[in-house]
Amino acid sequence: MSADAPQIRPPARATAALASDWAHPRRKERQPALSRAQIVAAAVRLLDAEGIGALSMRRLGTGMGAAATSLYRHVASKGELIELVVDEVCGELEVPGAASAAEWREAVSRGSHSLRAMALRHPWVASLLGRPGPARLGPNLTHMSERMLALLRTAGFPADEAGLAVNAVVSYVVGASTGEAASLPLPAAGGQREQGRPARGRPLPAEEHSARQRRDPRKLREENFDYGLQRILDGLEARLSPG
């Protein structure tokens, strides 16, 4: 190019922009920042909506707009995630204390109904609580176990039998709730409006069956649950009676 040829110079503003682009190349859009609490909350929502069979790290990540690999930075495995979501929903439990031995039965009953209600709000959890084998107890599940154990100790059970008594009560609640949740569609188990469905059990006389059909199915299920619970508490109370 001759010295006399006109030189095309970009405007100063454009030159600055070009220099800036080269000095600071465009970054790829980052995925949204995640936290363990966000992952656990999203997993609970997925489980409530679709059940345990729908849970996978890939599915969960897709729903959160993130790659599954991003989740593994906060949760080591699907197994650990399951432990976390179980403990998360156990934070909803209410186990009252008992100031005296006379109050233990009512407190255990209320705690048991709280566990059942939580299991029906989250119908996937009862089957996980009922799985055999060791599991790490998170802080919420540990707190619930300790509160129930304290109630049985207040009632007068020795330490070794108090633990067995807690296991008997919790096993009944978990077993009953598992069967109850399995017999309901997910929305009904999760707390939405339930369509009438006859309770399972022994055949009833025609008149009694007709009367029960006209009643609120939720109340019937709660009565059935409470009947079994009270019979277990009857047995425990008998263990405390002298002679």
pLDDT tens per residue, range 110-141: 999 999 999 999 999 988 887 765 456 789 99
Q: Any long-range contacts for 80-85 (C-beta under 8 Å, 24+ apart)? A: 81/39, 81/40, 81/43, 81/55, 81/57, 82/55, 82/128, 83/135, 83/136, 83/138, 84/36, 84/40, 84/43, 84/138, 85/40, 85/43, 85/44, 85/47, 85/125
The CATH H-level superfamily of 36-89 is Homeodomain-like (1.10.10.60)
Listed in order, the ranges of the chain carrying CATH 1.10.10.60 are: 36-89
For the cut 60, the answer to whether the pLDDT of residue 7 exceeds it is: no
Query: CA of 186: how far to CAs of 138, 190, 194, 213, in Å?
Result: 26, 6, 10, 22
Instruction: Give me the mean pLDDT over the 17-44 stretch.
Output: 68
Category of 205 on φ-ψ map: left (φ > 0), alpha (ψ -120 to 50) or beta: beta
The superfamily CATH assigns to domain 93-240 is Tetracycline Repressor, domain 2 (1.10.357.10)
Tokens of 53: 């069979």
Give ranges for CATH 1.10.357.10 in the chain: 93-240
**pLDDT value, residue 129:** 85
Q: What pTM was estimated for this model as a whole?
A: 0.74
Residue 18 — pLDDT band, cuts 50, 70, 90? very low
